[in-house]
Amino acid sequence: MLPWHHWDAIGIGWDVRGWQGKAQAVALAGWRREDDSLHWLGVSPLFRLSSRGAADIFSLLMPLLKSKARCDELLSHPRFALGMDAPLAFPRGFTALLRGEVQQIAIPAREIDNPYAYRDCERWLHERYGKKPLSASFDRLGNNATLALAMAPALTPLQRVPQQVPAAPRALLEVYPALAKQGGRASCARPEIHLLLPKTLQPGTDQYDAALCALMALQYAAGDKVKALPPLQGPPADFPLDEGWIYHFVP
């Protein structure tokens, strides 16, 4: 494998499968500015996070890279991003509810408008694309969301964007692979994206989704300069960022 400094930007994708999930998957892609080339640097086998120690960035990288020295080298790279398909925040209304700060309630006319179930970024996606993500507080996604949030502080040297900082050269971001697909979870990505994925990956698998997450992370790390990929949609100007943002390819 070529040294990490050969790549100008690196994207890591993590398909999050919950606390006891046995189908975690990580994918790794690199990009060279000189020839605008995208290369796959590996896709992990499916794995389970170990219960014998604290989970950290090495828990995700070791199933793929096998060597702590190799992991350390990657983590010293000046420009890489980790994209995960799990919420990195809960709705502000839900957290206020848990703190006992809700004084009165109103029944929303639509489910998507429930402040305890959905975030502003999820409502934005629904209004823009007609797509309603799962709710971290109301649906089974809470398993994945709590794992992602619990591990986020241990994923150093990454900084969570846009909650902690508006942008970062080494970033942790929430991504949405479903918006890159032609249909449901088991469907292929849009043709121009599907053709870029490793040929061995099958649509509907966790490794396929991890690869989609890696491409979104790569486009972020490259500053939207990977010409083979669609541009990445970041938060609109003046959008409230306390609940985070779901990065995705512009459809």
pLDDT in tens, 155-170: 989 999 999 999 999 9
- Model confidence band, residue 186 (pLDDT cutoffs 50, 70, 90): confident
pLDDT value of position 144: 96
Residue, of 139 and 74, whose pLDDT is higher: 74
Work out the mean pLDDT of the chain and round it to a whole number: 95
pLDDT at residue 185, rounded to an integer: 74
Which residues lie below 8 Å from residue 175, measured CB to CB, with a gap of 6+? Answer: 13, 83, 84, 85, 212, 213, 216, 217, 246, 247, 248
Q: Given pLDDT bands bounded at 50, 70 and 90, which one contains residue 1? A: low
- Average pLDDT, stretch 65-80? 95
Percentage of residues in the chain having pLDDT higher than 70: 100
pLDDT of 72 higher than 90: yes
Instruction: Please give the Cα distance from 47 to 137 (Å, whole number).
Output: 26
Contact (Cβ atoms closer than 8 angstroms) between residue 157 and residue 12: no
Percentage of the chain beyond pLDDT 90 is 90
Distance CA 81, CA 220 (A): 7
Closest of 183, 205, 232, 204 to residue 11, by C-alpha: 232
Beta bridge partners of 80: 10, 170
The mean per-residue pLDDT over the stretch 189-195 comes to 96
What pLDDT does residue 23 have? Answer: 97
**Residue range 108-136: average pLDDT?**
95
Mean local confidence (pLDDT), 169-197: 93
User: Which pLDDT belongs to residue 35?
Assistant: 94
- How is residue 199 annotated by DSSP? T
- Return the beta strands (E) in the chain as ranges: 9-15, 25-32, 37-43, 80-84, 159-160, 170-175, 232-233, 246-249
Q: Count Cβ atoms below 10 Å from residue 68 Cβ, excluding itself.
A: 11
Gap between the terminal Cα atoms of the chain: 33
Q: Which of 18-27, 58-67, 98-107, 217-226 has the lowest mean pLDDT?
A: 98-107
The predicted pLDDT at position 68 comes to 93
pLDDT value of position 16: 97
| Neighbour tally for 251: CB within 10 Å | 11
The first and second tokens of residue 149, run together, are 């949030």
Mean pLDDT of the region 64-78 = 95
- Is residue 124 over pLDDT 90? yes
